[in-house]
Amino acid sequence: AQDGGAAPGGGHPEDDTSFRWQCVEQPIGKLLFQRFLDGAPGLAAAKALWAELEAYERCEEAERGGAAAAIRGRFFAPGGTEHCSFLSAAAMAPPAGEPRP
């Protein structure tokens, strides 16, 4: 499945080329991609964002609102300490029902 989903029968096909499969779900792919981010000028914020998103996924439900606001302010807001200007406007848009900063 090219969209990163499981193939019929629950497995992943050998030729799955999706980013999610290669760089998130596969430990060696994830390690190699993070090393690429470490060595690429200008992508340190992308690696920091990835780490914060993984931490967000592990935090308690009660902490998620504050964690999300901190991530938006740090990475998505122009002028944030590690603004990821390479992200699309859709990726940086606040969730439905939240006002734009």
Please state the domain count of the chain. 1
Please check whether residue 38 lies inside any domain of the structure: yes
Please check whether residue 6 lies inside any domain of the structure: no
What phi and psi, each to the nearest 5 degrees, are found at residue 19?
-60, -45
pLDDT of 36 reads 95
DSSP-H helix ranges across the chain? 19, 27-39, 44-58, 64-71, 89-92
Q: What is the CATH number of the domain that holds 76?
A: 1.10.167.10
| pTM for this prediction | 0.71
Quick one: tokens of 24? 């998130």
In which domain, by residue range, is 46 found?
17-85
**What is the radius of gyration, based on Cα positions, of the chain?**
16
Share of the chain above pLDDT 90, in %: 52
For 58-100, the pLDDT digits (tens) are 999 999 999 999 999 999 988 888 999 888 888 888 777 665 5
Please check whether residue 100 lies inside any domain of the structure: no
